[in-house]
Amino acid sequence: MRHVRLLTAAAVMGLVAACSTPQEDAARAQEGAFEAQEKVAKQRLELVEKYQACVDESAGDQLKVDACDSYLKAAEALK
């Protein structure tokens, strides 16, 4: 009988410890959102840098500059 009480008490304590509060859940969700925003910002920066390099390499050739616009459009799509 004593073992049953100990096991029951341990199980209840384990369940209480495993439960997370809504604040903890919200904090985890917000951290995930911040990480996603940071990832998107880095991707946008990379695309803008590729656009700048492409324009610099085009040496004023309008056809090449137009081809570079795909980088800029992709960066704008990530807003």
* pLDDT at residue 41, as a whole number: 95
* pLDDT at residue 2, as a whole number: 72
> Residue ranges per domain, the chain?
2-77
Question: SS3 for 40?
Answer: helix
Measured distance CA(36)–CA(42) in Å, rounded: 10
Q: What is the pTM of this model?
A: 0.64
Measured distance CA(18)–CA(52) in Å, rounded: 51
Each of the 79 residues of the chain gets a pLDDT tens digit; together they read 676 776 777 777 766 666 767 888 888 889 999 999 999 999 999 999 999 999 999 888 888 888 899 999 999 998 7
